[in-house]
Structure 1
């Protein structure tokens, strides 16, 4: 019954949205609020002088300033003030979101609603908005970074393929910026480092329970960290630190002896973007997360810790284009794989740079810098092109 009511509310908001006059304003909705795609669009929008920029649960001014955004250039809205969020959505000429907004009401013909989403990786899971079930489009356009994934993402996002825009994710700008050495030292990072950034297998609730599960084997999930103990030691012997960046939804403690654990709160207090941290990394240890696809633009070594692959595939599943191909780095469960990764990190590997190039080409990864500005300019251009009336979404 609740889903039916929510669906009806979303439909009614979309219907009302068709008739409310739009102001020259922008609404930003990211989850979490410091998600790098929304932050980088926030950098672009905050420099715009064409109207006001409203940002739901925007990070604090110190964090924004560290990322080059002046607090006075945006208007902060709290998500708990749902009436105000609704009004700003109804009045906005441009809306950007990363995970959804208000159940994804139908955009108005005088409005551009942009689904930035937050990754084109191997994780399966079905539709992006499984409970929506409306005939209208949930967005005016959707941004992607891999041309080979475009049709999949259009289908998952319930959007016409012609509304997909292959522009690259705005967060790739942070990968190219990186972090100054003195700011890394404030986090206790004093030498080159590798980041292990596992996706979650089981999402936690605020009370400590399990909200949902993407695995069929709890033991394999809980044992992932112990499977990296030897790797951490060997990497440290090579003069490398290992950073563990857990997923904010993860119910499992991912700490590994000898590694430095850095969570979202630590990065927020330090005024460092997650993708800036990744941008200064010597390499990445990944799994089914979209982060390794993003990281390919750096052309730095990637290894894979997927000891629980059967349990994850039978739980959440995987999208074919991004995972049913030879990976651009060694699987650490294979004999000699860690040593192979270390050779790649030292610049003596011969095969993996070519494999990374092959995978970038196979995915059709957008590699040109300046993605955030490209997305922003494309949106403004589309508004000018359609003369204030965009393709109908209802």
Structure 2
């Protein structure tokens, strides 16, 4: 137990909560050994059982949710029993979808129900997006494990994971396209044929939003205007261990912005151009202020607001007219929309030093305007409003390397797995 870990859980749960957390983790490890080994020895895989698992405290979101929604809408729950392993089971007590169960796994105290290990071991298919949390470490013969993952971008592995020689715990993992087979097979220490160039289930949300642009913007902000730009920076500061980018210091929480005055000037410019800039914090980012009271055309959006309005993040991405990002996988995903991209690279050199990139020259795979300061951001906005798009051909070139397009990403995956 490290000092940083003790501090992390004490701040989040309080002193007694921290103690409960480590008791829960101890109980979970014991359950894993006992339930897992017994199930493998005496149990059998249930071919009609599908299990889904997200990152802890991020239940039923992102690629697992997108694929699950497709399966439900297509009637797969008539054929399969579907189990969700979730941190906060109470959130789903009003869910009454037929043949779907919710079981506690990795709750806020680190505890997982014994049933989580049983279902994890006996599932015909085990789907996860970040890690399996060892819930199917002991699994029955015949199980297929699919890593739906959460995006392929430009960032190298975390410093603490670069030299690990650990075999992957999946049979298949999803990547967007050809170039990522090479990068991910190296990072994950796996054979290239385990990586399926099928893209991500969430792409269906982005390409086919359930609401119109005006409906989404009105629901979130009560706003109507000419253009919408999303700004989605990757995280710098986080509670994750082994992330050297935590050492990166920026003058403002937004790269390329020096202070609040520059942000106010940008807001004024956006108001003149009738553009709304929506800033989405990365889920892992800490030390973040979302005070938008002084702005009219700069707004922040968080998971809580999206959940309240029942709007998926990738639907919001899908109705935007342009994207500002940096080294994040969302910039790769956005290529499918063939719309203007701006790469905010104010800390490019220090980020390369601290975290590193999967490409020898990342700039070759960034088909958009390179942004280093607030002036560059205004230029990007001006080009967006007057229709200047100098990177269309470059986007098309990169699209062939970075994606394997289809009309329905969920259906392609389900068909491949012969569900």
Query: Which band: TM-score by shorter chain?
Result: 0.7 to 0.9
Q: Which of the residues 235, 243, 247 maps onto 2:278?
A: 243
- CA distance in 1 between counterparts of 2:181 and 2:202 reads 18
1:122 deviates by 0.3
Give TM-score scaled by structure 2 length.
Answer: 0.77
Give 1:292's match in structure 2, choosing from 319, 331, 338.
Answer: 331
1:392 maps to none
Q: Alpha-carbon deviation of 1:285?
A: 0.6
1:348-359 aligned at under 5 Å gives the runs: 348-359=387-398
2:350 is aligned with 1:311? yes
After superposing the two structures, state which structure 1 stretch, 179-188 or 339-348, moved more: 339-348
Query: Which gives a bigger RCO, structure 1 or 2 (Cα 8 Å, sep 6+)?
Result: 1
Distance in 1, matches of 2:350 and 2:80, equals 49
Q: Offset of 1:369 from its aligned partner? A: 2.0
Deviation string for 1:160-201 (max 9, x for gaps)?
211111111111111112333334312115233111111111
Counterpart-to-counterpart distance in 2, 1:334 and 1:220: 12
1:140 to 147, 153, 171: 171
Residue 268 (1) aligns with residue 307 (2): yes
Aligned partner of 2:53 in structure 1 is: 29
Report 1:1-394 matches (<5 A).
19=41, 20-23=43-46, 24-31=48-55, 32-46=58-72, 47-48=75-76, 49-57=78-86, 71-72=97-98, 74-79=100-105, 80=107, 81-103=112-134, 105=137, 108-126=140-158, 134-135=166-167, 137-178=168-209, 179-180=211-212, 181-191=214-224, 192-204=227-239, 212-220=243-251, 222=253, 224=255, 226-227=257-258, 229=263, 230-253=265-288, 255=290, 258=295, 259-320=298-359, 323-325=362-364, 327-333=366-372, 337-338=376-377, 340-346=379-385, 348-363=387-402, 365-380=403-418
C-alpha spacing 1:338/1:63, structure 2 compared with 1 (3 Å):
farther
| Contact 2:235–2:282 under 8 Å retained in 1 | yes
Paired position in structure 2 for 1:384: none
Write the deviation string for residues 278-304 of structure 1: whole angstroms up to 9, x where unpaired. 111111110111001001101111112
Deviation digits for residues 39-76 of structure 1 (CA, Å, limit 9, x no counterpart): 111113323022210112289999999xxx97445212
Mapped contact 1:15–1:106 kept (Cα < 8 A):
yes
How far the C-alpha of 1:119 sits from its partner, in A, is 0.7
Per-residue CA deviations over 1:6-35 (Å, capped at 9, x if unaligned) read 999989988767553012210011232243
In structure 2, the residue matched to 1:389 is none
Q: Normalising by the residue count of structure 1, what TM-score does the alignment of the two structures yield?
A: 0.81
Structure 1: unaligned runs, 5 residues or longer = 382-394
Give the Cα–Cα distance (whole angstroms) in 2 for the partners of residues 99 and 163 of structure 1.
Answer: 17
CA distance in 2, matches of 1:318, 1:377: 33
Per the TM alignment, residue 265 of structure 1 is displaced from its structure 2 partner at its CA by 1.0
Q: Which moved more, 1:193-202 or 1:52-61?
A: 52-61
Change (3 A) 1:134 1:286: closer
CA gap 1:331/1:288 in 2 versus in 1, 3 angstroms:
same
For the residue of structure 2 that corresponds to 1:214, the secondary structure is helix
Deviation at 1:108, TM superposition (A): 4.6
Q: How many residues align?
A: 370
CA distance in 1, matches of 2:223, 2:92: 22
Q: Secondary structure of 2:190's match?
A: coil
